[in-house]
Structure 1
Amino acid sequence: MPDDASTAGLRAQGWSMLGREDRGAALGGAEYREKACEPLPESPAGLDAIADHIAKRAADHRIVIINESHIVTRTRELARMLLPRLRAIGFTVLSAEAFSSSKDSLAPKAEYFENGWPHYQLGYYSREPAFGRLVRDALTLDYRLATHEQWHDPNASPEADVNLSIANREEAQARNLMTVLDGMGSDERLLVHVGYSHARETAITRDDGTKTEWMAARLKNYTGLDPLTITQTQCRKASGAARLAQTRSRIEGAFDIVVDHPVDTFEQGRAAWRTQRGDLLVPIPATLRPVSAPLVIEAFSEGGPQDAVPMDRVFAEPGEDIALSLPPGRYYVRAVRLDEY
């Protein structure tokens, strides 16, 4: 019996964290299926051209908000590519909902990114290797890290009204970003990394007439600043290079830029976009290949700490033809039993 959408999504998210998006795609979830959109006339083609286009548009904005899929890791690559382009025009702070928050500070704990290595405990989604590479590049470029996520009180009772819970979270995120902005110089600019609808500049109206106003809309209203908003989760073309798409009618005005990525394909169990962006498929060392039970294989850059986010991570079962996906370099590789992971 097929999984329902929410269960399949959670399982796909788990496979994504383990480097096995191929297994997430096999569940049949929507984020690995085509969702046709009309291309933007004269759209740039390919991630490099799209990143250049976004950076040019960003020159007129103090805030850029880019969303991601929490399942499809290729959406983190475009954010990574934007980092140097935006840094060159005055963007100095990267705030991500993925980073752990605390009641008293919107800056992640310094020990979680000391010496340019994103620590495993920096956040949840940032534990995934493509996200870890994004953070590593941000630190190399001297971005300051911030978090705007709502602080979760472990002693608080769960909110019974789902819509109220969403509204409270969106409000907290917007207010936190206002605090981040208040702590920045007047000439500094802010890059905000979010998931899905948090980047939406317009409210969603439900059938019963109730509305949800998302973080980007609240931030825009409160500050009077018009953010440049980019969505990567609305369109999926069948194949070919990434492009920009026309806004779908139901999200008219919600986002400034709609990125249309191709549906993912896989090679040796790994997302093909990684090798297209320069990774090499590297066989798992013979001594670390699983024999009697599955293993999680992790590769760390030589000289880096072993509590950092690895450069790659992949789940492998005995007999599978699975490879590590790595940029050229030297690495320390380890295998971890799944029950210890």
Structure 2
Amino acid sequence: MRSPLVLTLIAGALLAAAPAHANGPSERLAALTAAEANLAAQRSKSTTAALKQQLVGPLQTVGTLQSLTGAPDAAMVTFDEIAALQATAANSAPGNSAAIAWTTGRDAVGVIVEQARNRQVVILNEAQHVPAQRAFAMRLARELRKVGFTHLAVEALGDNPLAKGYLTPASGMYVAEPTFANFLRDAQQQNWHLIAYEFKFDGLGLGADDNVSAREQGQVDNLVKRVLAREPKARIFIYASANHVRERIAAGDTWMAGYLRERTGIDPLTIDQATMISHGGGSGEHPLYQQLLAKNGGSGPFVLTRVGNPEVFGKYRGEVDMQVVHPPYPLVSSTGRPQWMTSLAGWKSYSIPSALWPSSGRRLIELRRKGAPPDEVALDAVLAVAGQKPPSMMAPAGDVEFSASE
């Protein structure tokens, strides 16, 4: 039986934000404002613990829209509140803390590539409101491409994400988030074959658990039809969210990775990067996270190994092959943006012209390729607030231009 939070995240992420995700920046900002107003109204009515559970849906909508409008830190706080309401925060499945003493921290990309050399499929998950994880996926994809992986399969893409020859918000549920789009653009430059494998419900009308099972099996059906049936030896990097990476087969609780293994006989290399991340000291942080950080011998994402074998802590222990631990990414004083934008993504900073700063309220400022079509997904987005100096924009080096929406 899947947890209420899992079901909420699946339904909410794919349905609640759907009306806004494919629209332009003005519409997304308006949708966020409306969602915040709805959440505030619901809060005023939530006077008991039972009523507070009804906040989960509105919170999901707000958090998703925050992540799509240049406010990932706010999205983290919102999703942590959801976890607290559902009592599924980081204290669940803490894992064996004693085992940490016997582990060694090693560079995550290096270990994954080492383990992937003799695998046909690699599956990496993400927390969908944490853009740093998309930058890590971008960096990993470059290295997997070098060792023979050819197909990049991405969750929640539209069937023809490059219909216009470039990425638009209509290309997929999360493509409007700039780091996601930059990851896919980088993959294009590396000559990956981009595969959309999302399952379309088409009004099945099933119960919640059956809906999840239908989606997981439908995703595998699409991976088989669109890749493996045509190229049985194709090497695939699958990028999915949260639980889809789990390999365990169990009645009523089997996910995409498990169905893929069962259906094809392929043993995928499964990697969790959604669990061990900084929450700024918030309640969503895993209780072992700080202990794991002490094992890091470098400055970037790492995996823990014991006698050369990867270790996993938390709820995915025994269900995935390895786990990436992300260090905290503090703000860089010169840009006001998180460190990962330079350390992981390698992006350049661009100062926002003062003429674009909002004089009242807030404004969504975007950085775009110079001369890009108006509906192409931006290179970066910042939600600027009146009275506060906005941070720099961060993007790959190139000719750029700014735009602003209210």
If the TM-score is normalised by the length of the shorter chain, which range does it land in?
Answer: 0.7 to 0.9
Q: Give the distance between the partners of 1:281 and 1:244, measured in 2 at CA.
A: 29
How is 1:130-149 mapped onto 2 (pairs within 5 angstroms)? 130-149=179-198
- The aligned residue for residue 401 of structure 2 is 332
- The aligned residue for residue 140 of structure 2 is 82
- When normalised by structure 2's length, the TM-score is 0.70
Using a 3 Å threshold, how does the CA distance of structure 1 residues 281 and 320 change in structure 2: closer, same or farther? farther
Please say if residues 76 and 130 of structure 2, whose CA atoms lie closer than 8 Å, have aligned partners that are also in contact: no
> What is the aligned counterpart of 1:43 among 85, 105, 111?
105
Please say if residues 90 and 187 of structure 1, whose CA atoms lie closer than 8 Å, have aligned partners that are also in contact: no
* Gaps in structure 2 of 5+ consecutive residues: 1-42, 47-51, 278-288, 294-298, 305-310
- The aligned residue for residue 220 of structure 2 is 174
Residue 218, structure 1, aligned to residue 286, structure 2: no
> What is the aligned counterpart of 2:338 among 271, 275, 278?
271
Q: Give the distance between the partners of 2:110 and 2:371, measured in 1 at CA.
A: 33
Using a 3 Å threshold, how does the CA distance of structure 1 residues 122 and 109 change in structure 2: closer, same or farther? closer
Q: Give the distance between the partners of 2:315 and 2:177, measured in 1 at CA.
A: 32
Q: Give the distance between the partners of 1:182 and 1:163, measured in 2 at CA.
A: 27
- The aligned residue for residue 14 of structure 2 is none
- The aligned residue for residue 241 of structure 2 is 195
How is 1:120-139 mapped onto 2 (pairs within 5 angstroms)? 120-139=169-188
* Gaps in structure 1 of 5+ consecutive residues: 102-107, 205-209
- What do residues 255-290 of structure 1 show as CA deviations (whole Å, max 9, x unaligned)? 111111134544676433214333344332122111
Percent same amino acid among aligned pairs? Answer: 26
How is 1:1-341 mapped onto 2 (pairs within 5 angstroms)? 4=55, 7-27=58-78, 29=80, 39=100, 41-44=103-106, 49-101=107-159, 108-112=160-164, 114=165, 117-153=166-202, 156=203, 158-159=205-206, 161-203=207-249, 211-236=252-277, 237-238=289-290, 241-245=300-304, 246-248=311-313, 250-263=315-328, 265-266=330-331, 270-277=337-344, 278-323=346-391, 324-337=393-406
Please say if residues 9 and 29 of structure 1, whose CA atoms lie closer than 8 Å, have aligned partners that are also in contact: no
2:397 partner amino acid: P
Q: Give the distance between the partners of 2:210 and 2:127, measured in 1 at CA.
A: 23
Please say if residues 63 and 79 of structure 2, whose CA atoms lie closer than 8 Å, have aligned partners that are also in contact: no
Please say if residues 199 and 231 of structure 1, whose CA atoms lie closer than 8 Å, have aligned partners that are also in contact: yes
More helix by share: 2
**Secondary structure, counterpart of 2:152 in structure 1:** strand
Q: Give the distance between the partners of 1:148 and 1:100, measured in 2 at CA.
A: 8
- When normalised by structure 1's length, the TM-score is 0.82
2:167 partner amino acid: P
- What do residues 166-197 of structure 1 show as CA deviations (whole Å, max 9, x unaligned)? 11111101111111233543443111110011
1:90 partner amino acid: G
Please say if residues 217 and 256 of structure 2, whose CA atoms lie closer than 8 Å, have aligned partners that are also in contact: yes
Using a 3 Å threshold, how does the CA distance of structure 1 residues 297 and 185 change in structure 2: closer, same or farther? same
RMSD: 2.8
Q: Give the distance between the partners of 1:275 and 1:20, measured in 2 at CA.
A: 18
